[in-house]
Structure 1
Amino acid sequence: MRIIQYGTLVLLFCSLISCNKSDDYQDIPSYPNIAAAFGTKINLNQLDNYANQAIPSYISKDNTQGNTITDKGATLGRVLFYDKKLSSNNTISCASCHQQSNAFSDTLVTSIGVNGTTARHTMRLINTRFANEKRFFWDKRAPTLELQTTQPIQNHTEMGYSGLNGDLSITDLVNKLSAVGYYQELFRFVYGSPEITEAKIQLALAQFVRSIQSFDSKYDIGRAQTADDVLSFPNFTSDENKGKRLFMTLPTFDATGKRTTGGIGCVACHNAPEFDIDPNSKNNGILGTIGSSAMEISVVRAPSLRDIAKPNGKLNGPLMHSGIISTLQNVLDHYGLMNVATANTNLDPRLVPNGFGQNLNMNSQEIANVISFLKTLSGSNVYTDPKWSNPFPN
């Protein structure tokens, strides 16, 4: 696989589109292929707002790293994200696995690709931008979101442009897209030239993914009225505030790893208010590999806990990289009493207090309270906002 240095991507982007100027939609020439392909779903004279969305004042993390979101770039990214032409047999798009109705995840344990099913469960893409962690995939093998975006395209199973063992290559994809009228027009609209490259695809896709944000949850309503995350929120029920306190408060353990006082300390790894994963986290003790008896200890990343469930409380799909957990109760059962595998040399030390697998010693009411709190992290707009929806006619 060809690796492109991230700095090169940023320099390329900034040389083509000013990183310091807002988009100018005046005097846009005619783009007949865009109009024919997308109708009213994309209006180049009145683009959707990706660049200037409201972000709460208490949100401080941002891993954009120079590839500033623009309305033009994210619009192109949206088309690429939903276009099945990005797969070798024209049947799979990024959105086939990352579905808006499921917080850009999948209800299946493994998603369907062009040559089988994925090796890991599809990660949610909510608030990807708002995290300290700058590496991507469950095992963090991609150093930036930009470089991550085209790896599924170049995966034999997922989208089929691996360039290996008879597969077409990413160059073949670029040539394929270059012959599509609406891409000639979109790339000219965004970059000033119809030339298509992998680097330009990466920049646009990353902008679209980073634009997907969710800050209209019950938690956000309460946090906006409160000085910090620890204080009780005025809009929360008593159980939700108790669950929040348990989540936010570190536990005290005895010599054998049993919790004696305090909360359950989820915040140590899932940092509020973004609820992203601590970049220094190691694995969480779930080692299973889909379709294999092998043990996997390299999975150390996780998506934000935001929108882990829909507004109605139903999960947006199974949890963990192996999809082995199907309820929030199961999550708390797993962390409540950690079983430490002898061969797991990469277990997060926060899960083994005093050398023992932690025993959070939670009662049923505490578990119910934490679950109530986790459900407050779900918004509603992200599931229905047209700017993140399929731009192609149904």
Structure 2
Amino acid sequence: MLKKITALLIISISFSCGNDKEEYVSIDTYPNAIAAFGNNINLSNLANYANQTIPSYITKSNVGANLITDKGATLGRVLFYDKKLSSNNTISCSSCHQQANAFSDVAVASQGVNGTTGRHSMRLVNNRFAVENKFFWDERAINLETQTTMPIKDHGEMGYSGANGDEAFSGLITKLSAIGYYKELFKFVYGTEEITENKMQLALAQFIKSIQSFDSKYDAGRALAANDGQPFTNFTAQENQGKNLFLTAPVFDATGNRTSGGLGCAGCHAAPEFDIDPNTRNNGIIGTISGIGIDITNTRAPSLRDLVKTDGTTNSPMMHTGVITTLQAAIGHYGTINLAAGNTNLDPRLRPNGFGQQLHLTAPEVNAIIAFLKTLSGTNVYVDSKWSNPFLN
């Protein structure tokens, strides 16, 4: 017999006088949730999503009006890992965004229900700590909430497109509405069993927004420094050199050759969040995974945090084509920017004085910037159970 757990909620009721009164309300038991998740989710003692510690030096946020709640993010976690959100019950959001790889995919193109993705799957870490609030490589989603259900509606990815023989998204709503644990969870979060796309979007976005990483060597050093420009006392000389190269703008001659200064990485990936400047344009990579045609609309990028695991291995291929697989190759790409025919969207910061930038990197500079980028990797994001698969099977 399944053990029944009764959760007690505190509901705050406001009166016209402005005083609040707390009333304890017993809500229904959740046998279907217990059967599906066991002890992985405890509805009477939810994981902390809403009040995680954020360093004082982190000031950027695109969280918007959909604030993270423990209940909403818990539902979002279930939706994120549930393969029932795909038309043939084989693909979930987590299939392409894996916790073991900082919520990215080791494959260049992720597997969907009807083929593979056209672009590499981005890491999801720290996506809310940014000025940029649009999503996908080409920023076609106006916010994270809109983004969350677009892969579900994609014919190739999760298959509820309403075209090419697919059911419409309404078919998914009908499917989920018949599942016991969703009846319980939607009532738990929203007060009613009714499932809507908007409710799904809110919950999924809250879970994704909760995925954060601030336990890196960089964070330990930054907490002891007044600003990023100071030498970090926990860094090696090489790591501090790499930090300076990252932060310092290069000086170019009339034909785009660096004559002094650093690499200027912070011009597009500003510390301490290391998110992407929303005004960034194409970075010089214009290929496609298929090898057919060019793609110059890629202007977004994930945070540079957790590019690699702490052992130095990459979490996934980099760039929208997955064409770059090492930090050395990534730095080398920016070291020599070619003005490719047809790329009318190249970021002006990469073509000083009208020429593709030539950084003329030395081996010690390359090694230093790699050493610094490795300091941006934490450990908790890979192992924290609140971001893990909640399903028993």
TM-score, normalization: structure 1? 0.93
In the TM superposition, what is the alpha-carbon distance from 1:293 to its structure 2 partner?
A: 2.1
1:151 aligns with 2:174: no
Partner residue, 1:310: 309
In 1: Cα distance, 2:165 partner to 2:73 partner: 33
SS in 1 for 2:334: helix
Partner residue, 1:14: none
In 2: Cα distance, 1:349 partner to 1:118 partner: 29
In 1: Cα distance, 2:331 partner to 2:289 partner: 22
In 1: Cα distance, 2:276 partner to 2:338 partner: 21
In 1: Cα distance, 2:301 partner to 2:95 partner: 20
Partner residue, 1:299: 298
In 2: Cα distance, 1:285 partner to 1:298 partner: 11
In 1: Cα distance, 2:24 partner to 2:360 partner: 59
SS in 2 for 1:294: coil
In 2: Cα distance, 1:80 partner to 1:311 partner: 29
- Given residue 194 of structure 1, which amino acid in structure 2 is its aligned partner? E
For residues 244 and 259 of structure 1, do their structure 2 counterparts lie closer, same or farther at Cα, with a shift above 3 Å needed?
A: same
Partner residue, 1:333: 332
| Aligned length in residues | 375
In the TM superposition, what is the alpha-carbon distance from 1:37 to its structure 2 partner?
A: 0.9
Partner residue, 1:219: 218
Gaps of 5+ in 2: 1-12, 15-19
Partner residue, 2:99: 100
Partner residue, 2:10: none
SS in 2 for 1:120: coil
In 2: Cα distance, 1:107 partner to 1:195 partner: 36
1:78-157 superposed matches below 5 A: 78-157=77-156
Partner residue, 2:51: 52
Gaps of 5+ in 1: 1-16
SS in 1 for 2:292: strand
- Given residue 357 of structure 1, which amino acid in structure 2 is its aligned partner? G
The range that moved more, 288-297 or 142-151, is 288-297
Partner residue, 1:352: 351
In 2: Cα distance, 1:292 partner to 1:252 partner: 35
Partner residue, 2:388: 389
- Whether the aligned pair in 2 keeps the contact of 1:25 and 1:45 (CA below 8 Å) is no
Partner residue, 2:197: 198
Following TM superposition, the consecutive aligned residue runs of length 4 or more in structure 1 with deviations greater than 4 angstroms are 23-26
SS in 2 for 1:30: coil
In 1: Cα distance, 2:84 partner to 2:168 partner: 14
In the TM superposition, what is the alpha-carbon distance from 1:278 to its structure 2 partner?
A: 0.1
Q: Supply the RMSD in Å over aligned alpha carbons.
A: 1.6
- Whether the aligned pair in 2 keeps the contact of 1:285 and 1:339 (CA below 8 Å) is yes
In 2: Cα distance, 1:202 partner to 1:38 partner: 21
In 2: Cα distance, 1:66 partner to 1:319 partner: 31
TM-score, normalization: structure 2? 0.94
SS in 2 for 1:347: coil
In 1: Cα distance, 2:129 partner to 2:245 partner: 23
What's the CA shift string for 1:283-315, capped at 9, x where partnerless?
Answer: 000000111321111000000000000111111
In the TM superposition, what is the alpha-carbon distance from 1:24 to its structure 2 partner?
A: 9.7
Partner residue, 2:17: none
Partner residue, 2:8: none
In 1: Cα distance, 2:127 partner to 2:151 partner: 17
1:178 aligns with 2:177: yes
In 2: Cα distance, 1:166 partner to 1:27 partner: 45
In the TM superposition, what is the alpha-carbon distance from 1:29 to its structure 2 partner?
A: 2.7
1:232-311 superposed matches below 5 A: 232-311=231-310
- Whether the aligned pair in 2 keeps the contact of 1:288 and 1:322 (CA below 8 Å) is yes
In 1: Cα distance, 2:24 partner to 2:233 partner: 43
- Given residue 202 of structure 1, which amino acid in structure 2 is its aligned partner? Q
In the TM superposition, what is the alpha-carbon distance from 1:35 to its structure 2 partner?
A: 0.9
In 2: Cα distance, 1:96 partner to 1:332 partner: 29
In 1: Cα distance, 2:271 partner to 2:40 partner: 35
SS in 2 for 1:261: strand
- Whether the aligned pair in 2 keeps the contact of 1:126 and 1:306 (CA below 8 Å) is yes
In the TM superposition, what is the alpha-carbon distance from 1:271 to its structure 2 partner?
A: 1.1
In the TM superposition, what is the alpha-carbon distance from 1:25 to its structure 2 partner?
A: 8.9
- Whether the aligned pair in 2 keeps the contact of 1:28 and 1:44 (CA below 8 Å) is no
- Given residue 156 of structure 1, which amino acid in structure 2 is its aligned partner? H
Partner residue, 1:10: none
In the TM superposition, what is the alpha-carbon distance from 1:26 to its structure 2 partner?
A: 6.5
In 2: Cα distance, 1:251 partner to 1:368 partner: 18
- Given residue 213 of structure 2, which amino acid in structure 1 is its aligned partner? S
- Given residue 300 of structure 1, which amino acid in structure 2 is its aligned partner? T
In 1: Cα distance, 2:292 partner to 2:29 partner: 57
In 2: Cα distance, 1:154 partner to 1:264 partner: 41
In 1: Cα distance, 2:25 partner to 2:158 partner: 37
Partner residue, 2:372: 373
- Given residue 221 of structure 2, which amino acid in structure 1 is its aligned partner? G
In 1: Cα distance, 2:148 partner to 2:209 partner: 11
In the TM superposition, what is the alpha-carbon distance from 1:165 to its structure 2 partner?
A: 1.8
What's the CA shift string for 1:328-385, capped at 9, x where partnerless?
Answer: 1111111001111131110000000111100111100100000000000000000000
Which has the higher Rg, Structure 1 or Structure 2? Answer: 2
In the TM superposition, what is the alpha-carbon distance from 1:393 to its structure 2 partner?
A: 1.0
In the TM superposition, what is the alpha-carbon distance from 1:121 to its structure 2 partner?
A: 0.4
SS in 1 for 2:293: strand
Report the identity percentage: 66
- Whether the aligned pair in 2 keeps the contact of 1:288 and 1:296 (CA below 8 Å) is yes
In 2: Cα distance, 1:24 partner to 1:308 partner: 47
In the TM superposition, what is the alpha-carbon distance from 1:64 to its structure 2 partner?
A: 1.0
What's the CA shift string for 1:143-190, capped at 9, x where partnerless?
Answer: 010000000000001000000021011100000000000000000000
